[in-house]
Structure 1
Amino acid sequence: MKLNLKGEGKKHIQEIIKLRRHFHQYPELSGEEFETSKKVQEKLREYNIPFTTGYAKTGILGVIEGGRPGKTVALRADMDALPITEETNLPYASKKKGTMHACGHDAHVAMLLGTARLLNETKDKLSGKVLLVFQPSEEITPIGGAGPMLEDQVFAEHTPDVIFAQHVWPDLPVGQVGVLPGPMMGASDRFIVEIEGSGGHASMPHQTVDAIIVANSVIGNLQTIVSRNVNPVDSAVLTIGRIEGGYRYNVVADKVTFEGTIRTFKNKTKQMVKERFQSIVQGVTDSMGAKAKIEYYDGYPATVNDEQWANHIKRTSQQLLGPNSTPVVEPCLGGEDFSRFLLKYPGAYFWLGTAIPGVIKQNPLHDPMFMLNESAIQIGMELMAQIAIDALNHFQVEVEQSELQSVLGKVANFQ
């Protein structure tokens, strides 16, 4: 009989919510998740789940061994917070000014601990093993934490046959799950451009090369990449997020710095936009007598779901939450470090609905007012556990069918 964990999270939900609020009150930035890591280790010891640490400094790998041999499923949660000052006034709001869990990673960690507890309680019935990946530094593109964890051989002893991750999603109501085969999140490149002209008095602009005018022309021309170079059926975004330059009202600026991001799904589109970006910046500045220094950082690759495992998430969600729990969604050009795991191992990434009812416009991720509906936490922990169980069962059925075919083949040959 198939193991079904629907409703099993209820007995642990108060503990998991308490954990989530603890992590929320004490957020830690990328690469600084030392106390978060210690708390996770403390809970894994309490649950009698063996683990190893030190991956990318604060990363953790927990291992739940099933009662029977089988394949290996990995589940990942990111741990880091953002350099944002919280403005929610919640009773458990961040106690660290300038640091906030504005992307829901506090809930991710808590839900994976809840998932771990559920799976460990039923491990004798599992065929295979489940890996619990607590990842640091998801927010610090382009370095991230997934790549360093892989470099630190996090899967040297236990290699996943499939890997999954979830992310809280305020655009979906509680009880709904967003998942797609193929691209789910975008590639997230970053750039910094310094324009160098020559300054002077505002009343004598003919003696200068105005870096503000040059930067303005560069930025305007950069916007033509998406409108005139990208195939309209593809997706790309080029955004300037910060610009700085000048000294005072009557001085022509000699330097301007601007920075921003480029988001794409297809690698071919990414490379084309990158090349056009370099060409336009250099071409415009040269034509106006200025110089440009470009720092371009290739960020996270696109998060591309394996079709088989995206459909697996959809089936499990519908069985656990109902046939209408997986609405049609569109991919997002936000970046996600989980993409680097998916480059190495098959798997899928999905969104967990956390919208607050009665609110017309939900505060988005990375907003100082971001809040999530905690009633989604039990769903998240049960869903992750069920996805792992169903994946192990899938592998077990494959093995049994292969063995059966082998036996039938031998019988046929004998006859």
Structure 2
Amino acid sequence: MWENCKNEQAHIVAMRRELHKIPELGFDLPKTKKFVLEELDRLGVEYKCSEVDSSIVATICGTGEGKTIAFRADMDALPIIEANEVEYISQHKGKMHGCGHDAHTAMLLATAKVLTENKDKFSGKIKLFFQTGEEIARGAEVMIKDGALDGVDAIFGLHIGSIMGKEISSGKAVIVPGCVMASYDKFVIKVTGKGCHGSTPEKGVDPINIASHIVVNLQAVLAREIATTKPSVLTFGKVTGGDVYNVIPNEVEMEGTIRALDEEVRQFLARRIDEIAKSTAETFGGTCEVEIIWGAPPVVNDEEMALIAADAASVAIGEDMVIRKVETPNMGGEDFACYLQKVPGAFFFLSSADSSKGTDVPHHNPKFNIDEDVLYKGPAIFTSIAMKLLGNEK
């Protein structure tokens, strides 16, 4: 069955380009949803639309009773002004598919076509998740609350691009057991002091000084409080305060992110941010408020499911195109982790990094693009997994 996916290559590219033109953000993706529903209707695939957001769960039934597995594609885009010079450039100003979700959606639609045409070759059910809000780490949570995972025995997802390193040649799949991506969360620290003129700093409480000490003090957590064998990141990405050069402001606001491969480290970092920020502010006579905006936990693949997926991929695209071991996980995050906390499964990567085509640009970049020649491999791996788990001839 997976062999048929190569015949869908041209259609996958066409769908991906149409979706690339209409990037939408967050939970409300009306044009993207319309595109997906029209394709599912054309294929005669049953589906259910969420009443909460634009997510869709399509279901394809085999010839008899059996297990239920799920494949997921995320559909949302990023608030980026695209800089690519392509005929299918974003038509929505300030929005861009800069992370490959257009390709994910197109590949899952192609998977739906091949599975629908081969219902007689498997038993059980296959659910296809078309998810919103991955970029804000909330879409998976919505689908779980909607009951999308009810009855699902295993789930699989993929990410295209150069996430695991641009040195991995285009067309190779990275499928490994255990932790493959970090948790990702946001923190906001609001420091309050007492404004005064810059010529008389003794008359006020300088929140810029406090904020500076908080930045330095928190970096010491990584260096002195967490074992070097447990990778973690604490990054400040935004610091805002003041209006003019010679006046000490009343407030400074800072935003950043924490990443961890271990849930205990994740929780420890969040706690220490709160403790150190508040105590540092108090030391210098100010106060501060700390907010942790929880994103997603680490992405941890089930060992058995990762092995099944890797074996299935080797059948579909060749063993020489499958990487089964990496030195370190990626410190980026993915809310697919939320599904893996509920049911066993595996999240894997399809490289589209080709320097000769300019597709080795990092994700979330205005010039991000993919090597479209590899798109058929996503559905090929998905359908091969389906046959391995549900196929009538095992």
CA contact (8 A) 2:136 2:295 kept: no
Deviation string, structure 1 residues 263-315 (Cα, Å, up to 9, x no partner) = 01111111211221111101111100011011112221111100001111111
State the 1:356 CA deviation: 2.2
Superposition map of 1:72-111 within 5 A: 72-111=68-107
Match of 1:147 in 2: 141
Quote the offset at 1:244 in angstroms. Answer: 0.5
Q: Which letter maps to 1:202?
A: G
Query: 1:292 and 2:284 equivalent?
Result: no
Structure 1 residue 55: deviation in Å? 5.2
Gap change, CA 1:10 and 1:324, over 3 Å in 2 = closer
Q: Secondary structure at the match of 2:293?
A: strand
Secondary structure of 1:58's match? coil
Residue in 2 that maps onto 1:365 = 363
Partner of 1:216: 212
Q: Structure 1 residues 245-254 or 234-243, which shifts more?
A: 245-254
Question: Which one-letter code corresponds to 1:62 in the other structure?
Answer: A
Equivalent residue, structure 2, for 1:5: 2
Corresponding residue SS for 1:370 = coil
Select the residue among 242, 247, 254 that pairs with 2:250: 254
Cα deviation, residue 10, structure 1: 3.0
Shift of 1:360: 8.2
**92, 112, 117: which is aligned to 1:121?**
117
Q: What residue number does 1:138 align with?
A: 134
Out of 339, 360, 365, the residue aligned to residue 337 of structure 2 is 339
Q: Which runs of 4+ in 1 moved over 6 A?
A: none
1:160 alignment partner AA: V
Q: Describe how 1:257-276 pairs up with structure 2 within 5 A.
A: 257-276=253-272
> Which of 223, 226, 234 is the matching residue for 1:227?
223
Aligned residue in 1 for 2:20? 24
Output the amino acid matched with 1:42: E
Gaps of 5+ in 2: none
RMSD: 1.6
Q: Structure 1, residues 105-141: CA drift from partner, whole Å, max 9, x if none?
A: 0000000000110111111111212111111111113
SS of 1:351's equivalent?
strand
- TM-score of the aligned structures, taking structure 1 as reference length: 0.90
Output the amino acid matched with 2:354.
I
Instruction: Give, in whole Å, the separation in 2 of the partners of 1:292 and 1:370.
Output: 38
How far residue 243 of structure 1 moved from its aligned partner, in angstroms, is: 0.7
Correspondence for 1:36 among 32, 39, 43: 32
- Cα distance in 1 for residues equivalent to 2:94 and 2:383: 34
Partner deviation per Cα, 1:177-215 (whole Å, 9 max, x = no partner)? 112211111111111111111111111111111111110
Q: Is the 8 Å Cα contact of residues 359 and 370 (structure 2) preserved in structure 1?
A: no
Shift in alpha-carbon separation, 1:361–1:89, aligned structure 2, 3 A: closer
Match of 1:411 in 2: none
For 2:300, what is the secondary structure of its paired residue?
strand
The CA distance in 1 between the partners of 2:269 and 2:2, in whole Å, is 46
- TM-aligned CA deviation for residue 169 of structure 1: 2.4
Distance in 2, Cα, partners of 1:342 & 1:376: 26
Post-superposition shift, 1:104? 0.4
Matched residue, 2:383: 385
CA shift at 1:18, angstroms?
0.9
Given that 2:357 and 2:371 are in contact with CA atoms closer than 8 Å, whether structure 1 keeps it comes out as: no
Helix, strand or coil: the match of 1:216? helix
Please tell me whether the aligned partners of residues 56 and 149 of structure 1 are also in contact (alpha carbons under 8 angstroms).
no
> Which of 112, 130, 152 in structure 2 is aligned with 1:160?
152
Measured after TM superposition, the shift of residue 357 of structure 1 is 4.0
Q: Which sits farther off after the overlay, 169-178 or 179-188?
A: 169-178
- TM-score by length of structure 2 reads 0.95
Q: Secondary structure at the match of 1:344?
A: coil
The Cα offsets for residues 372-406 of structure 1, whole Å up to 9 and x where unpaired, read as: 00011111121111112212149x86xxxxxxxxx
Map of 1:309 onto structure 2: 305
Q: Distance in 2 between matches of 1:359 and 1:13?
A: 18
Question: How far did 1:226 drift?
Answer: 0.9
List runs of 5+ in structure 1 lacking aligned partners.
Answer: 398-415
The whole-number CA distance in structure 2 between the counterparts of 1:360 and 1:79 is 23
Mapped partners of 1:314, 1:307: distance in 2: 11
* 1:277 paired residue among 273, 288, 309: 273
Q: Give the distance between the partners of 1:183 and 1:225, measured in 2 at CA.
A: 23
Task: Give the whole-Å Cα distance in 1 for the aligned partners of 2:52 and 2:235.
Answer: 30
Residues 55, 154 of structure 1: 8 Å contact kept: no
Residues 176, 295 of structure 1: CA spacing in aligned structure 2 closer, same or farther, 3 A cutoff?
same
Deviates more, 1:354-363 or 1:129-138: 354-363
Work out the CA distance in 2 between the residues paired with 1:119 and 1:11: 14
The 3 A distance-change label for structure 1 pair 211 and 183 is same
2:59 partner letter = V
Amino acid at match of 2:382: M
What is the identity percentage for the equivalent residue pairs of Structure 1 and Structure 2? 36
